Amino acid sequence: MSDEGMVRRIRGIACSMRVPPQNANRMVDAARGVLNQLLADVYIFTDAASGAAAGASPGYGITLVAETTSGCLLSAEATATQGAGAASTGAADDEPLVVPEDIGRAAAQLLLDEVSRGGVTDGTHQALLLLLAALGPEEMNQVQEVTWALWQVACHATVYAL
């Protein structure tokens, strides 16, 4: 797989646990606001959980996946974190979560960054691609081009594998 192709569609899911379900809708609206300027085929689903099924911690996040014409999948995700003051004061429980609109826009921008870098896989999965290429037969381990970022990932993956 050496042809990256053009982005055909974008799919995603926005989830929220132990927070109002409108947070997931607000993330979707913000992400679609960025992505729909470039591509019309954008569908982001929502999933809101409450009660015992939601776990013990409140939060929300969004995952986006871009599928290209050659079948490559590029992904990006963003989750809510505590406000900026939490790290400096040590009072993490007192700080509010980042607003959902910022999370949606951040995930959309991260996905656009992955697409603009090019390649057949996103930055998160490059080490896995290199590992599988090294373990597989020689006929199957063709990678389009090695960029500096991919080379650094390969070096780190090799060090951890040893």
pLDDT in tens, 62-85: 999 999 998 888 899 999 876 554
pLDDT at 85: 44
pLDDT at 3 exceeding the cut of 90: no
CA distances from 114 to 74, 92, 101 (A): 7, 31, 20
105 is written with which tokens?
């826009």
Question: With contact defined as beta carbons under 8 Å apart, do 32 and 100 qualify?
Answer: no
pLDDT at 144 exceeding the cut of 80: no
- 67's CB contacts (< 8 A; 6+ apart) are 7, 8, 9, 10, 11, 73
The amino acid occupying position 146 is V
**pLDDT band, very low/low/confident/very high, at 100 (cuts 50, 70, 90):** very high
pTM above 0.85, yes or no: no
Highest-scoring range by mean pLDDT, 26-30, 46-50, 89-93: 26-30
pLDDT at 58 exceeding the cut of 90: no
